[in-house]
Chain A
Amino acid sequence: MATSAASRRWRTAGRYALLVAVAVVVLFPIWVMLVGAFKPGNKVLQDPLLPTSVTLDTLRDAWRDGKLGRALVNSTIVALIVTVAQVVTSVLSAYAFAFLRFPGRTLLFALFLATLLVPFEATVVVNRETVQDLGWLNSFQGLAVPFLATAFGTFLVRQVFLTLPKDLREAARMDGLGHLGFLREVAVPLARPTLGALALFGFLASWNQYLWPTVISTDDDWNTVQSGLRTLSQAQIDRPNLVIAGTVIVALPIFVVLLVFQRQLVRGLTAGAVKG
Chain B
Amino acid sequence: MSRRWRDLPFAVAFLAPSLLILSAFVLYPLGRAVWLGHQRCDATGANCRSNGWDQYVDVFRSEEFQQALGVTVRFALLTVPVGLALGIALAVLADKHLRGIGFFRTVFSSTVATSVAVASLMWFFLLNPSVGVLADWIGGVAKNPGLLRDEDTALWAVAVSSIWANLGFTFIVVTAGLQSIPAELYESARVDGAGGWTRFSNVTLPMLGPTLLFAGVVLTSRAFQAYGEFDLLTGGGPNGSTTSLTYLVYGNNSIIKNNVGLQAAVAVLLFVVLILLSALQIRGVERRVHYGN
Cβ contacts B203-228/A at 8 Å (1 or 0 each): 00000001101110000010011011
Q: Are the CB atoms of B98 and A15 closer together than 8 Å?
A: yes
Which listed residue (A36, A125, A127, A207) contacts B125, Cβ 8 A?
A36
Q: Are the CB atoms of A117 and B115 closer together than 8 Å?
A: no
Q: Are the CB atoms of A119 and B113 closer together than 8 Å?
A: no
Q: How far is the CB of B286 from chain A (nearest CB, A)?
A: 8
A243 to chain B: which residues have CB within 8 Å?
A: 121, 125
Say yes or no: A16-B21 contact (C-beta < 8 A), given A96-B11, A262-B105, A276-B213: no
Q: Are the CB atoms of B33 and A126 closer together than 8 Å?
A: yes
Which listed residue (B21, B94, B115, B271) contacts A148, Cβ 8 A?
B21
A233 to chain B: which residues have CB within 8 Å?
A: 121, 232
A42 to chain B: which residues have CB within 8 Å?
A: none
Q: Are the CB atoms of A226 and B172 closer together than 8 Å?
A: no
Query: Which residues of chain B (129-147) have a CB below 8 Å from chain A?
Result: 130-133
Q: Are the CB atoms of B45 and A125 closer together than 8 Å?
A: yes
With CB as the reference atom, state the residue of chain B lying closest to A274: B214
B117 to chain A: which residues have CB within 8 Å?
A: 208, 210, 226, 229-230, 247, 250
Q: Are the CB atoms of B292 and A119 closer together than 8 Å?
A: no
Q: Are the CB atoms of A26 and B167 closer together than 8 Å?
A: yes
A145 to B175, CA, bound (A): 33
A204 to B114, CA, bound (A): 9
Q: How far is the CB of A21 from chain B (nearest CB, A)?
A: 10
Residue A176 lies at the interface, judged by CB distance under 8 Å to chain B? no
Residue A115 lies at the interface, judged by CB distance under 8 Å to chain B? yes
Q: Are the CB atoms of B18 and A95 closer together than 8 Å?
A: no
Cβ contacts A113-144/B at 8 Å (1 or 0 each): 01101111111111100100000000000000
Q: Are the CB atoms of A100 and B133 closer together than 8 Å?
A: no
Q: Are the CB atoms of B3 and A266 closer together than 8 Å?
A: no
Residue A33 lies at the interface, judged by CB distance under 8 Å to chain B? yes
Say yes or no: A26-B130 contact (C-beta < 8 A), given A119-B270, A154-B18, A275-B210: no
> Interface size of A by Cβ–Cβ distance < 8 Å?
91
Residue A74 lies at the interface, judged by CB distance under 8 Å to chain B? no
Q: Are the CB atoms of B115 and A276 closer together than 8 Å?
A: no
Q: Are the CB atoms of A207 and B115 closer together than 8 Å?
A: yes
Say yes or no: A276-B291 contact (C-beta < 8 A), given A23-B104, A93-B14: yes
B264 to chain A: which residues have CB within 8 Å?
A: 122, 125
A100 to chain B: which residues have CB within 8 Å?
A: 7, 10-11, 14
Residue A80 lies at the interface, judged by CB distance under 8 Å to chain B? no
> Interface size of B by Cβ–Cβ distance < 8 Å?
97
Stretch at the interface among B23-31, B51-59, B77-85, B151-159: B23-31
Q: Are the CB atoms of A269 and B7 closer together than 8 Å?
A: no
Q: Are the CB atoms of B108 and A45 closer together than 8 Å?
A: no
Q: Are the CB atoms of A270 and B180 closer together than 8 Å?
A: yes
Residue B116 lies at the interface, judged by CB distance under 8 Å to chain A? yes
Q: Are the CB atoms of B179 and A266 closer together than 8 Å?
A: yes
B26 to chain A: which residues have CB within 8 Å?
A: 115, 118, 123
Residue A240 lies at the interface, judged by CB distance under 8 Å to chain B? yes
A182 to B186, CA, bound (A): 38
Q: Are the CB atoms of A121 and B125 closer together than 8 Å?
A: no
B24 to chain A: which residues have CB within 8 Å?
A: 130, 146
A96 to B231, CA, bound (A): 40
Q: Are the CB atoms of A22 and B278 closer together than 8 Å?
A: no
With CB as the reference atom, state the residue of chain B lying closest to A229: B117
Q: Are the CB atoms of B131 and A269 closer together than 8 Å?
A: no
Cβ contacts A87-111/B at 8 Å (1 or 0 each): 0111011011000111101001001
A90 to B176, CA, bound (A): 22
Q: Are the CB atoms of A22 and B90 closer together than 8 Å?
A: yes
Say yes or no: A229-B121 contact (C-beta < 8 A), given A255-B110, A274-B214: yes
Residue A174 lies at the interface, judged by CB distance under 8 Å to chain B? no
B167 to chain A: which residues have CB within 8 Å?
A: 26
Task: Using CB atoms and an 8 Å cutoff, list the residues of chain A in contact with chain B.
Answer: 12, 15-16, 18-19, 22-23, 26-27, 29-30, 32-33, 36, 44-45, 48-49, 88-90, 92-93, 95-96, 100-103, 105, 108, 111-112, 114-115, 117-127, 130, 145-149, 151, 154, 179, 204, 207-208, 210-211, 225-226, 229-230, 233, 240-241, 243-244, 246-247, 250-252, 254-255, 257-259, 262, 265-270, 272-276
Task: Using CB atoms and an 8 Å cutoff, list the residues of chain B in contact with chain A.
Answer: 3-8, 10-11, 13-15, 17-22, 24-30, 32-33, 36, 45, 90, 93-94, 96, 98, 101, 104-118, 121-123, 125-126, 130-133, 164, 167, 172-173, 175-177, 179-180, 210-211, 213-215, 221, 224-225, 227-228, 231-232, 245-246, 249-250, 260, 263-264, 267-268, 270-271, 274-275, 278, 289, 291-293
- Can you list 10 A-B contacts (CB < 8 A)? A29-B164, A102-B5, A103-B8, A123-B30, A145-B21, A149-B22, A233-B232, A268-B176, A275-B180, A275-B292
